[in-house]
Structure 1
Amino acid sequence: MILFHALPDDLPASQTVPLWRRALRPVLTLGVLALGLWFSRHHLSGLNPADLWASIAALTPLQWLVAVLATAGAFLCVAGQERAIVQHLGYRIDPAHGRGAAMAAAAVSQTLGFGPVVGAIVRRRLLPDLTTAQSFAISAAITLFFFAGLGLLLLALIAIHPIHPLRDEARVLLVVCSVIGATVALLPWRSFMGVAKPPVFTVLRLVLWVGLDILCLGLAFWMLLPQEATPPFLQAMPVFVMALGVGLASGSPAGTGPFEATVLSSLPDVDQSGLVAGILAFRLVGYALPAAVGAVWALAGRHILSAPRLPVLDPVAPCPKMLSTLQRAEVQLARQALLALLSAPGGAVWLTGRLPGLRAFVGDPVGAGGPKAMTVAALDLCRAEGRGAFFYKTGPATAAVLRRQGLTVRPIAREAVLNPQSFALTGPARAGLRRKLRHAAQAGVVVTEPARLPLDDMAQVAALWAARQGAERGWSMGRWDREYVAGQRVMIARDATGRLVGFVSFHACRGEWVLDLIRATDAPPDGTLYALIVGALQIAKAEGVGRLSLAAVPLRDLGLPGLLAPLVRRGLRRTDGLVQFKQAFAPRWERRYIAARGPLRLALGGLLVFWAIHRPGPRPSPVLRGTAWRRRPAESV
């Protein structure tokens, strides 16, 4: 049986490797091996094979056991690295299959040499749904991050070494690298040469996995050295890390030659027979044994594991017809590109967005199937992506399903809901609203839904509002954009002079309107915003709409217990005015919830959502532009 094909089946003919290059590779490998052995000749010339075998035989069972366990831990870290890369690249891979493929690819490739190429071929064999280009992309990313992490770890180890001659230089370089990394992370660009910049959280995950990987391998190596003359672990690690990097960069099988030369020349005070015996034992535990297991897995892994369990939720592009027929208007946030729609085979959709390490599901699923089937599909998707699931602003029915699934559920907000068909200005609960409307009428405020939106005037109002508020929020909240607003239902207010003093916009579908933007000048006439909402209610009633939402406001304490509640209450004082504004309409208040697997992930998800809303980054272009969405003309007048 052939384990590897010379070239993957789907590699384009234009990428076929010339014959001279294929002949050059083994020649270079042999040259590297010979050069490494030549540099080690003084250390190897006086060795007695009997002494080597005696040193290997002297290794205790505990040393062998710790080395094997540390090596296993290193390969689990390799799987973690690959999972982070796959997640960033957006490939859907079953976690169990992906984990096995990652460890097998690493085990075989590091032993045979030319790691990225061999690893990509092994991965492609075990994960046939990946294209060759995708497999090579994973290998390239892992190689890049591994060597970057190895270099940073080497600098850190030298920086903390008590007597290393390059300790001061390493500290300076470590600070410089940290400053460069922080600068790159803060730069606004999101891609470079077509490659998306990974989020800071992803980079930190990779640095952690690479560091643990190398430390585990170093522990395995250190445990197999003669303990009576070997330096302490942290002092021996710089030697091992440097030797590992030189060996892997050489491309020779298992780094043979350069690895030995580096170790032997850097540890001249250690008994050479014991040192070479330790290297041989490490070759057995860290390379030969994993390579044998990896080769077997490459041949039989797909037959051992059950069929891949891939999620049933797939991305779906928003289109006007689909969005207008859904029974939840807020899914139209997908038009603004920071959030997207996932669709199940039965046609149900869920608004979702990626956060560092998490996938957030916003609101409730819409369509056939109900919340139970969709929550199971959502959790399966997150499991396949290697992300945690976070549910934001779900209703009571979905929250109950999530609670039965074992997730931690907490109330987070209240949504103000009105029924345009039964809404009336009468009653003591709306006395304040009637007073505001009288003030607006006395000031000559006129509210209309124009056939042609005054987009230039609206842009000026939006700019004044943003300057007064500091910045627009985003992610699950709409932001001003001419094309985006042109696809909404918009009410505008003009004062007695005809000047535009405010506007509101709504997501609208067949049975529901949801308030999105509220924008006003610095000093609009009293009651203007109240008049805008009442005008929208009147039009929604005429069109038979049964639900108009004024959107949600956070709970005063965000549902937090104990001493945290007063602190949060103090931080949310700015929302008191918004609550008072919505309360004037005497709405029905509906609870909204957040949910995640465990309180720590719940807290992390809440913080990430808060950051995404308050620091949304550059404003994206709408997925659906208003001219393709709105029946009425949208040009300026």
Structure 2
Amino acid sequence: MKLDPRLQRVIDWLQAHKTWLSALLTILVLTVAGFALWEILKEVDPDDIGAAFGRITPHQVALSIALTALSFFVLSFYDVLGLHAIHKPQPYWRALLASFTAYNLSHNLGFAPITGAAARWRAYRGTNLDPGDIARIVVIAGVTFWLGIFLLLGVFLVSFPGALRVHDATMNYGTQAAIGTAILIVIAIYLLACAREMGPLNILGWTLPVPTLKQALIQFTLAATDIAIASAALLVLLPPDVWHHYPDFLVAYVVAVVVAMVAHAPGGIGVFEAVVLVTLPEVDKPSLISALILYRLIYYWGPLLIAVALLGLNELRMVRQTRSTGARSAKVKAPPDTGGQHPF
């Protein structure tokens, strides 16, 4: 299909200026998020935040770290599922390396399709995967994540009245339930399409496998489990007397993640925190702020350092492997030592 010349010119212009447009968008999002946070926090006493930090116990921190590790373990199976979907399975350690580094870079740098694909390309280097395969894995992993987001959002919007709030304003349950029901209907249609085994999609000459019903159910289970665990890693940093608000908390967490991803702010910083703060008015603000700061360290920045180190070690391993292969090839090609005499 040939595009209208005017539309093609717009696309070409966007492609030519995408770098500075992305930078401008990031600056704009961070400015808006910073202003929103300032408005939210200006009435909070810094001493109260310090006191709230002091009330977080080592046991809570250890539990958050354990849940973070479990979340990234579950995330690794996004890649395992994608690799099996394209019929090119790899050793588990490589899928774990690819997913851990990809998600940490995309979590912290934003623009997940680009940063996640770059990390996976380095992690899967030296395998039988080509750029098209990497792109398919990125798409499958992304679809899996969004399926989990929508499943949890749909179920909780239908099941828990008043789950969507901004400060003291609560959405009417009829509207909230209608949104949740619409989401669940779309999910049901997706599962029906998978059950009918429609075969791969062909989009502009690029094939993308449609999962079987079994694979789709695994997608929902993996993503919903991961999101529930990741949100729990933040919840356990709050005072235990608010843990029973988990349904409301999970909806707030999911909405914050979605807004942060759509905004493309690096790591959702500022955006994620602002959304959580305005959607959980019943939680003590100093306690919530201290938990969010610590969560940023535990779930985002700590694993990022580990991911960068793992990528570096993998690059060193590849360099050594290349040198070793080259040395063996040179040895095989070298003529035999005859003590200076002609071999014949």
Instruction: Report the alpha carbon displacement of residue 162 of structure 1 after superposing the two structures with TM.
Output: 5.0
Q: Distance in 2 between matches of 1:299 and 1:53?
A: 36
Partner of 1:283 in structure 2?
Answer: 296
Mapped partners of 2:183, 2:89: distance in 1: 35
Task: Say if 2:278 is the partner of 1:244.
Answer: no
| Superposition deviation, residue 116 in structure 1 | 1.7
1:189 aligned counterpart, secondary structure: coil
* Pairing 1:237-636 to 2, within 5 Å after superposition: 237-301=250-314, 303=316
**Structure 1 SS opposite 2:240:** coil
How many residues were matched structurally? 292
**Equivalent position of 1:189 in the other structure:** 198
Q: 75-84 vs 194-203, which deviates more? A: 194-203
The residue number in structure 2 matching 1:82 is 79
5 Å-filtered alignment, 1:161-176, equals 161=160, 163-164=162-163, 165=173, 166=175, 168-176=177-185
Q: Indicate yes or no: 2:144 matched with 1:145.
A: yes
Q: Who is 2:104 aligned against?
A: 107
Of 80-89 and 177-186, the range deviating more from structure 2: 177-186
Is this contact kept in 1: 2:151–2:184, CA < 8 A? Answer: no
Letter in 2 for 1:233: Y
Q: CA deviation at 1:289?
A: 0.7
Q: Partner of 1:39 in structure 2? A: 36
Q: Give the TM-score taking structure 1 as reference length.
A: 0.43
TM-score, normalising length: structure 2: 0.78
After superposition, the CA RMSD in angstroms is: 2.4
Equivalent-residue separation in structure 2 for 1:18 and 1:145 (angstroms): 28
Q: Distance in 2 between matches of 1:175 and 1:238?
A: 15
What CA distance in whole angstroms lies between the structure 1 residues aligned with 2:191 and 2:24?
Answer: 42
**SS of residue in 1 equivalent to 2:79:** helix
Which structure has the highest strand share of the two?
1
Amino acid in the other structure paired with 2:95: G
Is contact 1:40-1:265 (8 Å) kept? no
- Counterpart position of 2:6: none
Secondary structure of the 1:232 match is helix
How far, CA to CA, are the matches of 1:133 and 1:53 in structure 2? Answer: 49
1:497-553 CA distances to partner (integer Å, 9 max, x unpaired)?
A: xxxxxxxxxxxxxxxxxxxxxxxxxxxxxxxxxxxxxxxxxxxxxxxxxxxxxxxxx
**Alpha-carbon deviation of 1:18?**
4.9
The one-letter amino acid paired with 2:151 is L
1:154 has 2:153 as partner = yes
User: Following superposition of structure 1 onto structure 2, how do residues 203-214 of structure 1 map, counting pairs within 5 Å?
Assistant: 203-214=216-227
Give the distance between the partners of 2:156 and 2:316, measured in 1 at CA.
43
- Counterpart Cα distance in 2 of 1:171 and 1:144: 19
Name the amino acid aligned to 2:314: G
What code does the residue aligned with 1:268 have? Answer: P
Contact in 1 for aligned 2:195/2:212 (Cα 8 Å)? no
Aligned to 1:180: 189
CA distance in 1, matches of 2:195, 2:131: 33
CA distance in 1, matches of 2:301, 2:87: 33
The alpha-carbon deviation at position 156 of structure 1 amounts to: 1.1
Contact 2:242 2:283 in 1 (8 A): yes
Q: Distance in 2 between matches of 1:96 and 1:237?
A: 31
8 Å Cα contact 2:82-2:141 kept in structure 1? yes
Q: Does 1:65 align with 2:78?
A: no
Give the alignment partner of residue 53 of structure 1, picking from 50, 54, 60.
50
- In structure 2, runs of 5+ residues without a counterpart are 1-11, 164-172, 322-344
> Quick one: distance in 2 between partners of 1:67 and 1:188?
40
Measured after TM superposition, the shift of residue 163 of structure 1 is 4.4
Which of 26, 29, 38 aligns to 1:29? It is 26
The one of the two structures with greater contact order (alpha-carbon pairs below 8 A, sep at least 6) is 2
Distance 2:30 2:180 in 1: 33
Structure 1 runs of 4+ off > 3 angstroms?
226-231, 301-307
1:175 positional shift: 4.4
Q: 1:294 to 1:250 in 2, by over 3 A?
A: same
* Aligned match of 2:90: 93
Cα separation, 1, equivalents of 2:113 and 2:57: 35
- Aligned residue for 2:238, secondary structure, equals coil
Between the aligned partners of 2:194 and 2:151, the Cα distance in structure 1 is 17
Measure the CA separation in 1 of the matches of 2:299 and 2:29.
Answer: 21
On the 8 A contact 1:43/1:272 being kept in 2, the answer is no
Contact 1:117 1:136 in 2 (8 A): no
Deviation at 1:41, TM superposition (A): 3.0
3-state SS, counterpart of residue 44 of structure 2? coil
Deviation at 1:50, TM superposition (A): 3.1
Q: Rate the CA distance shift 1:302–1:203 in 2: closer, same or farther, 3 A.
A: farther
Amino acid at match of 1:155: G
Q: Which has the larger radius of gyration?
A: 1
Q: 1:19 to 1:54 in 2, by over 3 A?
A: farther
Instruction: Give the CA deviation at 1:295.
Output: 0.8
The structure carrying a bigger helix percent of its residues is 2
Secondary structure of the residue aligned to 1:254 is: helix
Per-residue CA shift, 1:325-356, capped at 9, x if unaligned? xxxxxxxxxxxxxxxxxxxxxxxxxxxxxxxx
Q: Secondary structure at the match of 2:25?
A: helix
Paired residue secondary structure (2:33):
helix
Query: Do the aligned residues in 1 keep the contact of 2:108 with 2:267 (CA within 8 Å)?
Result: yes
- Structure 1 unaligned regions, length at least 5: 1-14, 308-637
* Secondary structure of residue in 1 paired with 2:262: helix
2:79, 2:99 within 8 Å by CA — same for their partners in 1? yes
